[in-house]
Amino acid sequence: MPRRCDRERYSSLRYGFVIDQNRCIGCHACTVACKEEHSVPVGVFRTWVKYIEKGEFPDASRHFGVMRCNHCDAAPCVEICPTSALFYRPDRIVDFDNSRCIGCKSCMQACPYDALYIDPNSNTAAKCNFCAHRIEMELEPACVIVCPTQAIIAGDLDDPASSVSRIVATQKVAARKPQKGTQPKLFYTGIEGDFLQPSMMEQEESQMWAERSPASNPYSIEPSRPEPERNGKARTPGAARVVYDVAHKQPWGAIPAFYLWTKSIAAGALIVAAILLSVSHDAGARGTQAFLNLAAPAVAIAFLGLTVLLLIADLHRPDRFYFILTKPNWRSWLVRGTWVLAAYGMLSLAWIGYGFFRASIPPWLFWIAAVAGAGSACYSAFLFAQAKGRDLWQSPLFLWHLLAQAILAGAAILIILAAAAAILHITDLAGEGLRQVQSLDRILIASLALSALMVLGEVSLPPFSEDVHRATRLLISGALSRAFWLGFIGAGTALPIIALWLALDRRGPDLILSLGAAVLALGGLLIFETLWIVAGQAPALS
């Protein structure tokens, strides 16, 4: 941070970059200087140079582009960071404090420019910080002073006399992804328009001095297999090709998919239990049903605890998890979601307490718990919406996806408990118990159908961006299509609906059919969560 005595002077500044690609010769001096200045480890970059080629021999040309943090005025990484490890300095440089970072990688999903990485030495996020320590000493950033052609210009965008301000005011400049609303302060002159749009470039299987193995990221958009059409137009043979770039990895792996799944089960258990209690035909039996009084909240507490453990396990600095509570950024839905989960956990404990010591669960408690369960399930939609780098996750239907999935998961897990208890002769299903299982079957059928219809509608609607088009194509006809159609739609949706329909069509409950359908439904839900996470990260950000 700037020294306290200098805060007034810095607050009148607004630093930004202009990169003149007409001057850039692709020498990588800026990359080397940045690594030396900040001791950036091998394999990660704050500044890097990307090469593309256009045309065919002998009429081919090569172009260079310097990629880095855009120091946005509306930086989504600052908004989503749960511990304020990323922040605005008074001079509007977006800086970071690695002593607060918990390594959640949410900033990497929020940044549309792929500017952040996890430092392998500290296991915390890092990026270009405009050489803030040099700025405080009235020195230029390291990349600026080493550039042999003066292609990188830094300065105060609000100062009419500065070079960057004059260039932005008098020359044709372009910014990366202005449609994201981040208000970037990194401008380019003399750059090819398609260079700033990763979706307009082909990824090659081989690059300069390197081979790209498809096995390294089997779920990325397939390289060297251009689409026959893009937006209704045939792809030209001379389309831009990426021939040199740094490695980019998907920040989130299997664990986020698992904790979405466990969170759906935890939230849905009490939502569905509240529905059953509200429509119960026998008020006296309702209060004595250990199935709803004890089993449902016990499942909610168990899977909520598992969700928290998975959330902590996915952090690169799990020892700092408590920073979410002690150093919170209240704009982040990671922080808000943590408190929603805590409130839901307390209500689940109150529910199970009533189940032990009282004859019935009061309606005010089970409805408040159900609302908290819906909040626990659905807050992730707002968190994913803050991940502005991933267009697939910006779906306005995702909140309703999560609610339907929670009801699906809750009905399925309660069917499994009821069927298992009856099969093991722990309970005898009759009267109210029989009606509850039949009600669970109907709830599961409805939630399965609704969830599948929303997903199919989502992937069938015209995409609002090329990244959404690529991600949905990956799901319905690409490398993920077999898991999508056979795993999620077939085994995870159609088969359970058929089995439940057959179970309801008989005079008595068919516990085997209901149990099998519930297990398949939960398996299909886990498959979908995994596919959603993978497909959303497949399109390149830079």
Q: What is the pLDDT of residue 357?
A: 84
Q: What is the pLDDT of residue 320?
A: 97
Q: What is the pLDDT of residues 376-433, one digit of tens each?
A: 999 999 999 999 999 999 998 999 999 999 999 999 999 998 887 777 666 555 445 5
Q: What is the pLDDT of residue 61?
A: 85
Where in the chain is CATH 1.20.1630.10? 254-537
Q: What is the pLDDT of residue 533?
A: 96
Q: Is the pLDDT of residue 227 over 70?
A: no
Q: What is the pLDDT of residues 207-216, one digit of tens each?
A: 766 665 554 4
- As a whole number of angstroms, the longest Cα–Cα distance in the chain is 86
Q: What is the pLDDT of residue 231?
A: 41
pLDDT band at 477 (very low <50, low <70, confident <90, very high): very high
Instruction: Indicate the CATH number for domain 254-537.
Output: 1.20.1630.10
Checking 427-434 for CB contacts under 8 A at 24+ apart, the result is 427/290, 427/291, 429/509, 429/511, 431/282, 431/285, 432/280, 432/281, 432/282, 432/285, 432/286, 432/289, 433/289, 433/291, 434/508, 434/509
401 or 437, greater pLDDT? 401
Q: Is the pLDDT of residue 166 over 50?
A: yes
- Residue 4 has what DSSP assignment? G
Instruction: Quote the CA–CA distance of 116 and 69 in Å, as a whole number.
Output: 8
58 or 34, greater pLDDT? 34
C-alpha count within 13 angstroms, C-beta hemisphere, residue 24: 28
pLDDT band at 3 (very low <50, low <70, confident <90, very high): very low
Cα angle, residue 490 at apex, residues 487 and 491 outer, rounded to 5°: 60
Q: What is the pLDDT of residues 330-375, one digit of tens each?
A: 999 999 999 999 999 999 999 999 888 876 889 999 999 999 999 9
Q: How far is CA 446 from the centre of its chain?
A: 27
- Of the candidates 439, 390, 400, the one whose C-alpha atom is nearest the C-alpha of residue 539 is 390
Q: What is the pLDDT of residue 32?
A: 97
Q: How far is CA 30 from the centre of its chain?
A: 31
Q: What is the pLDDT of residue 62?
A: 87
306 within 8 A of 300, measured Cβ to Cβ: no
Give the architecture-level CATH label for domain 4-213+240-244.
2-Layer Sandwich (3.30)
pLDDT band at 462 (very low <50, low <70, confident <90, very high): confident
Task: Report helix, strand or coil for 264.
Answer: helix
pLDDT band at 510 (very low <50, low <70, confident <90, very high): confident
Question: For the residues 462-466, what does the mean pLDDT come to?
Answer: 89
Which residues face 88 on adjacent strands?
94
302 or 232, greater pLDDT? 302
Question: For the residues 261-281, what does the mean pLDDT come to?
Answer: 91
For residue 292, what are its two tokens? 């709803």
> Average per-residue pLDDT in the chain?
88
352 within 8 A of 298, measured Cβ to Cβ: yes
Q: What is the pLDDT of residues 59-110, one digit of tens each?
A: 888 889 999 999 999 999 999 999 999 999 999 999 999 999 999 999 999 9
Question: For the residues 458-485, what does the mean pLDDT come to?
Answer: 92
Per the document, the length of the chain is 542
Question: For the residues 51-57, what does the mean pLDDT come to?
Answer: 84
Where in the chain is CATH 3.30.70.20? 4-213+240-244
Q: Is the pLDDT of residue 2 over 50?
A: no
- Residue 491 has what DSSP assignment? I
Q: What is the pLDDT of residue 284?
A: 44
Instruction: Quote the CA–CA distance of 154 and 161 in Å, as a whole number.
Output: 13
Q: What is the pLDDT of residue 433?
A: 58
201 within 8 A of 67, measured Cβ to Cβ: no
Q: Is the pLDDT of residue 206 over 80?
A: no
Q: What is the pLDDT of residue 506?
A: 63
pLDDT band at 193 (very low <50, low <70, confident <90, very high): confident
Q: What is the pLDDT of residue 221?
A: 52
